[in-house]
Amino acid sequence: MEQQERDGVTTRLPEPAALADTSAEVPEKHLVPVFDAKSVSIFYGSFRAVTDVSLTIYEHEITAFIGSSGSGKSTVLRAFNRMNDLVPIAHMDGEIDYRGVSLYGPDVSPVAVRRRIGMVFQKPNPFPKSIYENVAYGPRINGIRKKSHLDEIVESSLQKAALWDEVKDRLNKSGLGLSGGQAQRLCIARTLAVEPDVVLMDEPCSALDPIATGRIEDLMHEIKSQYTIVIVTHNMQQATRVSDRTAFFSVLRNEKPGGNDTRTGVLVEYGTTQQIFEDPHDSRTQAYVTGRIG
């Protein structure tokens, strides 16, 4: 049942290569849109976490989501690989296109979506298995059984995650024995092992020291030519260091008569990282990037 669903959908989600041919149609030269979010609002029960977000994410770019807590940036990130589907009370209005196909369309399976659109989490969370098994987990799930093939994937994924040299002699040791920075790179290798098109990163460095953070940022630059990356970060310096484009989210408070205040996240401004930090158009963006509000 699941297998059927998967195969059916895999053919429906367009391959990145196939889309490269149609790049002439896109408005900006050499910019291929990967995600196109149109008026996205996301609710948890009756709570409107984020309201009316529209933005386009481009191929082989690093896009940073910045903003204060509660501004909905992680919520929007999790909409890109339908991770919010796992929260029973969550639902979404609006539409997100992934390479021209509606991500939430009736024929699209979340399983296929998540395989194509990988995620790295806030806290390094290796499975309580060996380093090898952590990386091989995804390929195995997706039906790769041959040992030599798995070996190959494990090595190349760990290479890409700049972890291979540190762990090649202890692949059978537990992934839980690694330092925080190594564990997070292992999680990145685990994500890359299923050959995703997009890597979503939800504050991937918030639990790491500056040196480990630097290594992850270098790694992002290295893999950028092969993947499209969206990163949520609380660290504005990180956004300026790694990203091509920045989206600034903020909390909007609605004071209703009767004292029933509601708050919701909104996208305030979206542009190239340089423009957002050097020439912000919105006063709220300016206040945030110059550090005047939290």
Interacting residue ranges for another protein, rule: CB under 8 A = 2, 6, 81, 83, 86, 88, 111-112, 114-115, 118-119, 121-123, 125, 127-128, 137-138, 141-142, 174, 187, 190-191, 193-194
Task: Report the nearest approach of another protein to the CB of residue 176 (Å).
Answer: 9
Task: Report the nearest approach of another protein to the CB of residue 282 (Å).
Answer: 33
Nearer to another protein, 194 or 220 (CB): 194
d(CA 258, CA 3): 53
Nearer to another protein, 26 or 176 (CB): 176
Residue 262 is classified by DSSP as: E
Task: Report the nearest approach of another protein to the CB of residue 31 (Å).
Answer: 27
Nearer to another protein, 123 or 224 (CB): 123
Task: Report the nearest approach of another protein to the CB of residue 210 (Å).
Answer: 23
Query: From the centroid of its chain, how far is CA 86?
Result: 16
Amino acid at 194: V
Nearer to another protein, 75 or 273 (CB): 75
Amino acid at 48: R
Query: What is the torsion angle, in degrees rounded to the nearest 10, for the CA atoms of residue 277, residue 280, residue 283 and residue 288?
Result: -10
Nearer to another protein, 33 or 118 (CB): 118
Residues 183 and 101: beta-carbon distance below 8 Å: no
Residues 144 and 153: beta-carbon distance below 8 Å: yes
Residues 73 and 269: beta-carbon distance below 8 Å: no
Task: Report the nearest approach of another protein to the CB of residue 142 (Å).
Answer: 5
Nearer to another protein, 20 or 141 (CB): 141
Task: Report the nearest approach of another protein to the CB of residue 122 (Å).
Answer: 7
Structure tokens at 291: 């550090």
Rounded to a whole number, what is the largest CA-CA distance in the chain? 67
Amino acid at 156: S
d(CA 230, CA 21): 23
